[in-house]
């Protein structure tokens, strides 16, 4: 893929980076060959990003051309927003205080070059700032008033790099380009690039390492490059055409913030932020299912004013759910009134609303995996022995799971598939796992999960490698539609 460094005046750029083309802002904006260039990565190092300046137009026009600019117009606007600056200062408060505590001055300026700083003790802070404001060269200004706070952040032009730091900037810039897909390829580059967000430390993540590798191979077979990233790589997000989240999601979490930023920047995102928002809250799902008259176990939205009526309406045992529960955690089976009172009080201290649901014991739960309004797998997850859930957490923190059975979607009960699609269509067109219970041939929806599990030997037991191919084909179709629409506009 073409890699461009765009500057106001090439004479001001003192570094030569192999495999990277240096071009003036005017040439990039006016010369026909750049307008016709496909899939370029544009590193905008212009002197000025003010509204309607050359630097502003480089990032704006590159987006219209289907190129990927760094910084994007969104990042440029974020740098100007005091609200965003305050938010970042609060979010990084602990790291800021720890990094700047030894300083005796009341003002401090930190230069960030491709996520790095000349002084190693500021490496973590520099990387986090780069992640939140993805821009090749940054300058962050801090002030001390009882504690250190981020006051402002702005880009650095090439001419502002101190002479004594030029060799360091050349080193980190060369490392940034050569250590990644930016190195000059020995073969034709892939058509598109997909980032797969995962957390190597996560227990019970949505996909095991073997499944992750199958996603990567499926993408390669479709002439796409899929690369694993972690939360530390979020500053590189705009290098890609799509984001595939294979890490447990939550609204109050960086997974949601990354999905939101990626979607705002025009990437194809699964799971998209709206799906995360809708699926992550059980209160929302309960209201949604009831409003659309989708069969579900009898459910009450509990608040402090109706606690006393829950047991009389639902009986005992009863299931209590915190709104953002995942992987059977935050879901409690209550056997008696004393336990109910204690657990409700604990949960309502965290959330104004919680869920109470009638207890409907079954031997197994159904799950229908759905993507793009189509079923892609059907599983039975059996309850863990002598336990009421499919997953049991032991006293040592280990997770034990019951047995499973995967069946072809074509032979699954039609009413099961129809009910699952009905529920998933209310969320969107993403990747969902719809959990249902079967009682006397009828199906009730327990919940709709974004980011459902896809593991080797379980969900892929019927389709094998074709399951991963089908998911990557959806990415390919969506990227192509998006690129075509951007090109026409």
**What's the total number of domains in the chain?**
5
Q: What is the pLDDT of residue 370?
A: 98
Are 437 and 368 in the same domain? yes
The ranges of the chain with pLDDT < 70 are 178-189, 325-329, 392-400, 486-489
pLDDT for res 187:
47
Rounded to two decimals, what is the model's pTM?
0.71
Containing 422, the helix (H) or strand (E) segment is helix 414-425
* 60 within domain boundaries: yes
Do 443 and 314 reside in the same domain of the chain? no
For CA atoms 89, 92, 96, 98, the dihedral sign is positive
359, 385, 409 - which closes a domain: 359
Same domain? 71 vs 184: yes
Quick one: angle between helices 82-91 and 123-132, nearest 10? 140
Q: Are residue 319 and residue 213 in the same domain, yes or no?
A: no
**CA 456 to each of CA 215, 380, 418, 462: distance values in angstroms, whole numbers, following the listed order:** 11, 15, 26, 11
For residue 460, being part of any structural domain is answered with: no
Domain contains 228: yes
pLDDT of amino acid 394: 60
SS3 136: coil
For residue 310, the model assigns a pLDDT of 94
Of 309, 337, 359, which residue is a domain's last? 359
Give me the pLDDT at residue 486, please. Answer: 67
Cα(130)–Cα(433) distance, integer angstroms = 34
147-196: pLDDT as tens digits: 999 999 988 877 788 888 888 988 888 888 765 544 444 445 688 999 99
Residue 466 lies in a domain: no
Domain of 134? 81-156
pLDDT for the residue 282? 85
- Paired residues of 407 in beta bridges: 378
Are residues 48 and 115 located together in one domain of the fold?
A: no
Same domain, 371 and 338: no
Cβ-based neighbours of 87, under 8 Å, separated by 6 or more? none
* 354 occurs within a structural domain: yes
**Which among 226, 225, 273 has a CA at the least distance from the CA of 249?**
273
Judgement on whether residues 370 and 355 belong to the same structural domain of the protein: no
Distance CA 251, CA 242 (A): 20
Residue 127 in domain: yes
Residue 317: what pLDDT? Answer: 94
Residues 64 and 180 in one domain: yes
Q: pLDDT digits over 34-91, tens only? A: 988 887 889 998 888 887 788 888 988 888 787 888 888 888 888 888 888 988 898 8
208 closest CA partner among 462, 30, 417, 457? 457
Say if strands 268-270 and 242-245 run parallel, antiparallel, or are unpaired. Answer: parallel
Query: What is the distance in angstroms between the CA of the first residue and the CA of the last residue of the chain?
Result: 22
Task: Looking at the structure, tell me whether residues 182 and 218 fall in a common domain.
Answer: no
pLDDT of residue 144: 95
Indicate if 38 and 132 belong to the same structural domain.
no
Q: What angle, 0 to 180 degrees and rounded to 10, lies between the N-to-C axes of helices 465-488 and 209-221?
A: 50
Indicate if 146 and 177 belong to the same structural domain: no
Looking at residue 338, which CATH number applies to its domain? 3.30.1490.20
Same domain for 72 and 85, yes or no, is: no
How far is it, in rounded angstroms, from Cα 125 to Cα 102?
A: 15
How many residues in the chain?
489
Domain assignment present for residue 48? The answer is: yes
Largest distance between two CA atoms of the chain: 79
Q: Is the residue at 459 inside a domain? A: no
């Amino acid at each position: 893929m073409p890699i461009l460094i765009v500057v106001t005046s090439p004479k001001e750029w003192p570094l030569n980076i192999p495999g990277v083309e240096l071009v003036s802002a005017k040439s990039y904006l006016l010369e026909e060959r750049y307008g016709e260039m496909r899939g370029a990565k544009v590193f905008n190092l212009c002197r000025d990003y003010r509204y309607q300046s050359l630097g502003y137009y480089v990032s704006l026009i590159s987006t219209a051309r289907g190129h990927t600019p760094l910084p994007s117009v969104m990042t440029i606007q974020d740098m100007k927003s005091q609200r965003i600056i305050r938010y970042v200062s609060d979010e990084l408060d602990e790291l800021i205080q720890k990094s700047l505590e030894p300083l005796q001055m009341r003002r401090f300026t930190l230069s960030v070059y491709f996520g790095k700083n000349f002084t190693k003790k500021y490496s973590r802070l520099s990387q986090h700032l780069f992640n939140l404001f993805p821009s090749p060269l940054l300058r962050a200004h801090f002030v001390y008033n009882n504690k250190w706070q981020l006051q402002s952040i702005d880009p650095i032009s090439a001419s502002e790099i101190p002479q004594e730091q030029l060799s360091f900037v050349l080193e980190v810039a060369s490392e940034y380009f050569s250590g990644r897909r930016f190195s000059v390829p020995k073969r034709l580059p892939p058509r598109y690039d997909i980032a797969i967000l995962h957390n190597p430390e996560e227990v019970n993540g949505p996909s095991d390492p073997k499944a992750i590798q199958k996603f990567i191979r499926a993408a390669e077979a479709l002439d796409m490059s899929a690369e694993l990233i972690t939360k530390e790589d979020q500053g590189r997000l705009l290098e890609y055409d799509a984001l595939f989240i294979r890490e447990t999601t939550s609204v109050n979490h960086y997974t949601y913030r990354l999905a939101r930023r990626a979607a705002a920047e025009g990437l194809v995102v699964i799971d998209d932020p709206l799906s995360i928002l809708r699926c992550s809250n059980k209160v929302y799902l309960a209201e949604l299912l009831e409003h659309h008259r989708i069969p579900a176990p009898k459910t009450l939205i509990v608040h402090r004013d109706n606690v006393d009526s829950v047991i009389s309406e639902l009986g005992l045992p009863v299931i209590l759910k915190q709104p953002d529960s995942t992987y059977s955690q935050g879901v409690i089976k209550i056997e008696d009134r004393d336990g109910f009172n204690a657990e409700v009080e604990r949960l309502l201290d965290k959330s104004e609303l919680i869920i109470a649901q009638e207890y409907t014991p079954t031997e197994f739960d159904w799950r229908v995996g759905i993507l793009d309004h189509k079923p892609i797998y059907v599983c039975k997850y059996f309850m863990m022995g002598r336990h009421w859930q499919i997953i049991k957490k032991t006293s040592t923190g280990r997770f034990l799971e019951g047995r499973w059975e995967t069946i072809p979607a074509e032979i699954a009960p039609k009413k099961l598939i129809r009910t699952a699609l009905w529920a998933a269509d209310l969320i969107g067109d993403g990747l969902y796992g719809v959990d249902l219970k079967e009682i006397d041939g009828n199906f009730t929806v327990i919940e709709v999960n974004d980011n459902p599990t896809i593991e080797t030997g379980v969900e892929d037991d019927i389709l094998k490698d074709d399951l991963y191919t089908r998911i990557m084909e959806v990415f390919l179709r969506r990227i192509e539609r998006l690129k075509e629409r951007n090109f026409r506009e």
